[in-house]
Amino acid sequence: MWKGRLAILAILVVSVLAGLSMFTVRGAGNNQLEVYSWWTGPGEEDGLAAMAKAFEGANPGVRFVNAAVSGGAGSNAKAILASRLLANDPPDSYQRHAGLELLDDVRSGKVQDLTELYHQQGWTKVFPKGLVDNLTIDGRIYAVPVNIHRANLMWYSPRTLKDLGLPGPPKTWAEFLQQADAIKAKGRTPLAVGPEWSQKHLLETVLLGELGADKYERLFNGGISWLSPDVTAALGTFAKVLGVSDVKSAAGDWQPQLDKVLSGSAVYAVMGDWSSSYLEQSKKLRWETDYNVAASPGTEGVYDFLSDSFTLPTGARRPDLARKWLVECGSAAGQNLFNPLKGSIPARTDADAGLYKGYLGWALRQWRDPNTRIVGSLTHGVVANNAYNAEIDSALGLFVQHGDQGRFARTVEQQFRETQ
């Protein structure tokens, strides 16, 4: 109870501070651009700063106002943004994930149609068709992607695997569970997990690994039921995976989740590839030597993508500057400034591959490989609308707490029908 009250209080405090910040912005003149995001961590903040500097350099006299809000993998920022949009007080541009996360804003008229800007900039020729398809809502496009991330990854320390005599990361979740027995016998935790959203991220990767790409996509477009035998079996595997994790003492965020792997107290962690920036930029570690990564079990050759994108809100104070910012976000130069620091790869297919070393070079080759199967992330806004995602969050919280698999499946099956 107290944790819930403290969380609400924290959001209220940040909302007040955001309101004071807006008062300052309005009082400082109108030759400025307010950009709203949740990029406050190492790497992502640096990448945003690099793009902001380039934007100011290309637009003399314009001040870039970074209105980022930290915490909760964007949940705090989204809560405050919702109140601002409801009050018709939008920033000049704000961050969303590509996909159905933006559906509510589109249907309520909170964002402007950018389809013509896409034609002017030639973006439909340099963004992959699968990405453009996921950006398209009711036949129009409302956001500009600045990057690509991959969700279905398992991180580990080569030294830890060597110490434990493990041959390598598991290829399937059944193999992982076999390794888990040996790992526990040696006093280590097989899998480190983080807060609630990271547990949903884990669910997503287990479903993808157990169902395969086709059935995974059908699960989220209504083609198969959460009550079907295949999904029931996949959820059973997820329950077993949770059972050999440290979910009862889960880390407070994804960075300390990875820290457990670095220390050797835990062997694996499932997390997106923003981890590479943390490991290389903050921890000064080297890919394949100090840390390594593999596709999460059962997903070799599949790229479970998410993409950060920016919008032009209805009622923006400086829509002219917002459009210039969106051009910066969609440009090869802007994406090449941002992504190497963020730990992501460019959405554009014509960006300079030579800038992406180590893990990022491997990721870019995978993304551009015509044989790679691309699917969209559940946790990060691609394949489920906000209402359905929220219902999955609530049901998953109960599942993790009480382990009632049947109740979880029945709830999310019903909520799919009610939230479409």
- What is the location of CATH 3.40.190.10 in the chain? 2-146+310-342, 153-298+385-419
* Cβ count within 10 A of residue 109: 9
In whole angstroms, give the CA distance from residue 128 to residue 148. 11
Could you please report the per-residue DSSP string of 146-213? --BEE--EEEE-HHHHHHHT--SS-SSHHHHHHHHHHHHHTT-EEEE--SHHHHHHHHHHHHHHHHHH
The predicted model scores a pTM of: 0.86
DSSP helix, strand, coil percent of the chain (3-state; round to 5): 55, 15, 30
The CATH homologous superfamily of the domain defined by 153-298+385-419: Periplasmic binding protein-like II (3.40.190.10)
Q: Say what the pLDDT of residue 343 is.
A: 83
The CATH homologous superfamily of the domain defined by 2-146+310-342: Periplasmic binding protein-like II (3.40.190.10)
In whole angstroms, give the CA distance from residue 123 to residue 330. 8
Q: What is the mean pLDDT of each run of 10 residues along the chain (420 residues)?
A: 41 44 47 94 88 97 94 79 94 95 95 98 91 90 97 98 97 98 97 97 98 96 97 98 97 96 98 91 93 98 95 97 98 95 90 92 91 93 94 97 96 95
Confirm if 273 and 293 have CB atoms less than 8 A apart: yes
Q: Say what the pLDDT of residue 29 is.
A: 52
* Alpha carbon distance, N-terminus to C-terminus of the chain: 32
Q: Checking DSSP bridges between strand 140-141 and strand 136-137, what pairing results, if any?
A: antiparallel
Q: Which helix (H) or strand (E) holds 66?
A: strand 63-66
Q: Say what the pLDDT of residue 245 is.
A: 98
In whole angstroms, give the CA distance from residue 340 to residue 49. 13
